Amino acid sequence: MKSYNQILLFSLFLFFFSIANAENVAVVVYGKTPVAKQYLRVAQSRMEQLITDNGVTVLDQAKAKELEKNWPKLSDPGALITAEDFVENAGRYKISGIYRIYLDVGKSMGMAGIYTATSVADIRFIGDDAKVRAAASAPMGTKGMPPSDGLTESAAINNAIQRAVDYSAGKFGFKVMDITNPRLVSYSLKNVPELSASAQEINTPPLLSNNDDVVKLAKLKDDGWTSEEATCVRYAEGNRMALVGSYIISAMGTSRSYSSALHVVDLDAKKEVEQFTISVKDIRYQKGGSKITDCRFLQTWRYVAAVSQSHLVFADTERGVELARIYFEDGFNKPTLGHVRAGGEDFLVVSEGSRRLYYQIVRE
């Protein structure tokens, strides 16, 4: 036993000496979902590119695949790997470390036939000293970290994976030379005369009381000159975000002005994260009142729409921009807002009684 230990220690010494000044690493990727397993090469190629851009040599993919196959313990992010394990399994490749990427990918259909995708790259680095460093990208689908859009499923997924790898690699200190920005599609509204018979309504959580507790999280104005009250309260699917539509009355002496706003509230963070102006009284355009009578999220939290007695507004919560504004030719009293889908296309429906207005959501 003593002889075996001496040989092992000597082998470790020779191995560490041979790579002490080396900058050679391997990259292996494991998919956590069936979809992720189809795109392992995308994550591996992106990580290898980042490593190479930073002056480090990367083991070629064929040898990395061989290493992965012969060392099954690497697939378990929680497995204990010792220095002896490293020498035994990685010694003949003359590498000083291994980047293991555990990849997660999600996909769905967005609006107007657009594909949308999310990805998380959990990267674990293990060096020849058996010490592990880890970094994971922030979950996509939250404020500041949107999903990736694409005209094809593959385009959306590729972009999401590259963004996730960039984010995690940056935490390891790698300089990202060409940052992968999210591909986001812009939309507008187009008035259409009617919908096809195949149109299906998209359900949304019900309206809540205007006194619901979430209203307290919205930044409603309340001072000697201005009062703001909730007129529309609704959650997003999953109850992680909420909308508070409001009616604002401002007094200056004997004059009064009326407007409305849409507040986007993050229920996890318990705070308002975005605000859009819906109506501002303007006699040149507005035919009707300013009060918001209905509001809703579209495609989870990313897009919102609100209808007042005179306006329909469609906005992007991720970028904080208004995408479209419709002025009604004739005002409403208390219109409702619906979302329907037909033939892969999305439509907003403004209705009151027998009156209906239809607007197609079109990509630009």
CATH superfamily, domain 2-171, is ABC-type transport auxiliary lipoprotein component (3.40.50.10610)
In Å, how far are 82, 98, 202, 294 from 132, measured between CA atoms?
10, 10, 47, 52
Average pLDDT on 32-45 reads 96
Average pLDDT on 306-329 reads 93
- The pTM is what? 0.78
Q: In the chain, list all ranges with CATH 3.40.50.10610.
A: 2-171
Average pLDDT on 183-205 reads 91
The confidence score (pLDDT) of residue 61 equals: 92
Rg (alpha carbons) of the chain, rounded to whole number: 28
10 Å Cβ neighbour count for 236? 23
What gap in Å lies between CA 100 and CA 115, rounded to an integer?
28
Question: Cβ distance 189 to 359 under 8 Å?
Answer: yes
The confidence score (pLDDT) of residue 224 equals: 76
φ, ψ for residue 179 (rounded to 5)?
-60, 135
Token pair recorded at residue 80: 């204990």
What gap in Å lies between CA 309 and CA 326, rounded to an integer?
11
Q: What is the pLDDT of residues 261-302, one digit of tens each?
A: 999 999 999 999 999 999 876 655 677 788 999 999 997 788
- Average pLDDT, rounded, for the chain: 88
The confidence score (pLDDT) of residue 279 equals: 84
The DSSP-derived string for 91-130 is GGGT-SEEEEEEEEEEEEE-GGG-EEEEEEEEEEEEETT-
Q: What is the pLDDT of residues 216-230, one digit of tens each?
A: 999 998 887 889 999
Share of the chain above pLDDT 90, in %: 64
